[in-house]
Structure formats: structure tokens, C-alpha cells
Chain A
Amino acid sequence: MGVFLIVTIQVDMHDQLAMKLQDDLTSAIAKSESRGVLIDISSLEIVDSFIGRMLANIAAMSRVLDAHTVLVGMQPAVAITLVELGMSLPGVRTALNVESGMALLHSLSDHPKESEEDASSDT
């Protein structure tokens, strides 16, 4: 079990800033050899297709770097809207808050790779 990165998105990001976050975070995962990333989006008032794609990209890239991504704190109105928009956030795990997100990251990175894939069906 290595370190976990925690990112809190606190502003309404324009598209280039979101792209920069995606790049910076991917480099940070590689550099720190961290096993997990927790992204707190509780301050985000909307998630559109662009931010959704960025979050899915971060999750996909972290998998390549052998890390897990957990998204926490999505506001209910945002979640409802995201479904209607048609974004399913493939490969992105979610948790209610930072605490349960951290617990999820711990349990994910304790398991060997094989059993993780099985475990993902009930999350």
C-alpha cells in the first residue's frame, strides 16, 4: 500500500484548467507511485460532458499506472443531471464522502489485482 493523493476541486474550472489538472494529476500519480487518487467534487455545481470526460480520463490513466480513482461528494442535483445528460462515468468509482472514499481506496489497494475486477461488480 502506497500513498494516496487527495484532490479537491474548488472552482468552476474552464476547459484548459481542467485539462491541466488532468495532466498534472497523471504526472503526480506516476511520480509519487501512489496507489490511489481521491477527487473531492463536493464544491462542483455542475459536471458537464467535458468535466465528465476529464474525470473518466483520470480514472483510466490512473488504472494504467496501477492506481485507483474514487470520486467523492457529488451533489445530488449534479448526479441527477449527469444521468439525464447521458454520462455514465465508466470506470469511475464513487463514494459519499471523503471518509468512505478513503476506506474504499484502502480496501481496493489491499487486494491483489485479480480479485479487484471481481469486486467491482458490487460497487
Chain B
Amino acid sequence: MPPRTLETLTLASVSDIVIARQRARHWAIEMKFSLVEQTKIVTAASELARNTVEHGGGGTMVISTDGNRIRQALKLTFEDKGLGIADVEQAMRDGFTTSGGMGLGLGGSKRLMNQFEIDSRLGQGTRVTVTRWK
């Protein structure tokens, strides 16, 4: 099975974060992830969608699927054209925040998912892709 886009969402305001959680849940159920796995996926989606809205000035979330007949993956890609992250390594560290948050969104999402990729360019934007395999 080739990678397939399931849905694309616009993330502009805090109410879009709620929708991002609902759609991530929908597809996680559709792909028959366990309840604990669903919860991890939805929590990561919530963290990364909030970062896109709060830090990235808004953007998109693409839900897609990848894999083969034996193993399938649910992939979430968050993209914005915001200010970008000056020091990604620092931003990934638990407790690092520029906004009075917990500083757990990036590090936490990485732990909750099986794969985590981040590409951020100062002045150009940020893209984070997380994948959970079944």
C-alpha cells in the first residue's frame, strides 16, 4: 500500500485543536489502534496542533496512512509558515518553553509516537511529522 492522505485540516484557532483531536481519534479508531494507542496518538496530535496554532501562527495538519498488508502506520504532519525554531535541540528538551507552558509538547509527542521528525527553519516555518505503527 502506498502512502495515502486521509484528511487535511486547517489549524488557525484553539477550536481547531479540538477538531484535530477528534479527527486523529476518528482515524486511529478506523485503523483499529487499541484504546491506549488511540489516547497516545490523540494526545500527541493535541500537543503538536497547539504548537502549530500558538507558536507557528497557524498552519495545517495532514493525516495519512502508510505501510503494507502486515503493518500499517498512522502519520500526522503539522506544518506552519511561522517564525521557526532557533535551536531545535533545545526546544525538544523537557521543560524548555518560550511561552510559560510546560515545555512538554515536543519531547512528550516524541515519546508517545514511534517516529518523530522535525524540520524547522528560522523565518520560514516548522514541519513536524509523527508516526505510530500498529
Contact = CB atoms under 8 A, between A and B. Distances in A.
**Interface SS majority for chain A:** helix
Interface stretch (B1-9, B42-50, B64-72): B42-50
B122 interface: no
A45 interface: yes
A48 B15 contact: no
Interface in A4-51: 12-16, 45-50
B21 A84 contact: no
Given A77-B36, A81-B36, A87-B102, A15 B50 contact: yes
A38 to B, nearest CB: 23
Interface size class of A (residues with CB under 8 A): 20 to 34
Interface stretch (B55-63, B79-87, B103-111, B125-133): B103-111
B10 interface: no
B112 A49 contact: no
A77 B104 contact: no
Contacts of A80: 36, 39
Interface of A: 12-16, 45-50, 52-53, 75-78, 80-81, 84-87
25 contacts: A12-B18, A12-B22, A14-B17, A45-B39, A46-B43, A46-B46, A48-B43, A48-B46, A49-B108, A53-B101, A76-B36, A77-B36, A77-B38, A77-B39, A80-B36, A81-B39, A81-B43, A84-B40, A84-B111, A84-B112, A85-B104, A85-B108, A85-B112, A86-B102, A86-B107
